[in-house]
């Protein structure tokens, strides 16, 4: 799959419709930067977005993936299958996001409760009962957990895990 060729084809299709990158971005609720990255080949749209682009430009999704026009058209069964695959991928992504949100919310609540129970300078309810050193250790652990959760959530929002997965896939395919 030649990303640069795909990008050029997407650019050609956009220009045939007489649209700017900004107009296309508004239509699909993405940033114009995303459209620019698609058209330069530095980044590719998700599979569900490819299906939407194919419908919008009235081309076969295989044409987009190949980066050139074909004479044959995609049958409805293939199109339905691709939509189901896209829905599945989106559903899996949403499940992962929900797990990360839950982890972030849980660690934030744990940090707040820990501060109330073990907080510094005798503010915590158990600080007088449990030795100060242990309270400090508990607070350090909980704060570390909360920061780790926040970092994981930020990495997910930035797409780092998807990039790592793609890198692993590329590395695996090079070995074979």
122-171: pLDDT as tens digits? 566 666 677 777 877 888 888 888 888 888 888 877 778 777 877 877 77
Taken as a whole, the chain contains a residue count of: 176
Element housing 131 (H / E) = none
Residue 28 lies in a domain: yes
Query: 11-64: per-residue pLDDT in tens?
Result: 999 999 999 999 999 998 889 899 999 999 888 888 888 888 998 998 888 888
- The SS3 of residue 44 is coil
55 and 85: one domain? no
The per-residue pLDDT for 176 is 58
Listing DSSP states for 67-82 in one string gives: TS--SS---HHHHHHH
Query: 50-64: per-residue pLDDT in tens?
Result: 888 998 998 888 888
Domain total in the chain? 2
Domain closes at, from 66, 94, 118: 66
Domain closes at, from 31, 48, 66: 66
CA distance 92 to 85: 11
60 and 119: one domain? no
Number of H-type helices and E-type strands within the chain: 8, 0
The per-residue pLDDT for 135 is 76
């Amino acid at each position: 799959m030649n990303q640069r060729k795909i990008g050029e084809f997407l650019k050609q299709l956009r220009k045939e419709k007489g649209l700017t990158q900004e107009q296309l971005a508004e239509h699909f609720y993405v940033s114009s930067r995303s459209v620019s990255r698609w058209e330069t080949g530095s980044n590719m749209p998700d599979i569900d977005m490819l299906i939407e682009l194919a419908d919008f430009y009235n081309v076969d999704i295989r044409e987009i993936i190949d980066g050139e026009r074909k004479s044959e058209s995609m049958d409805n069964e293939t199109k339905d299958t691709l939509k189901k695959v896209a829905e599945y991928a989106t559903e899996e992504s949403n499940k992962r996001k929900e797990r990360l949100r839950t982890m972030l919310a849980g660690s934030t609540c744990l940090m707040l409760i820990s501060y109330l129970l073990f907080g510094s300078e005798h503010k915590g309810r158990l600080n007088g009962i449990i030795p100060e050193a242990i309270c400090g250790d508990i607070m350090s652990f909980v704060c570390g957990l909360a920061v780790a959760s926040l970092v994981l959530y930020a990495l997910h929002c930035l797409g780092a895990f998807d990039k790592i997965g793609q890198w692993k896939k590329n590395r695996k395919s090079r070995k074979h």
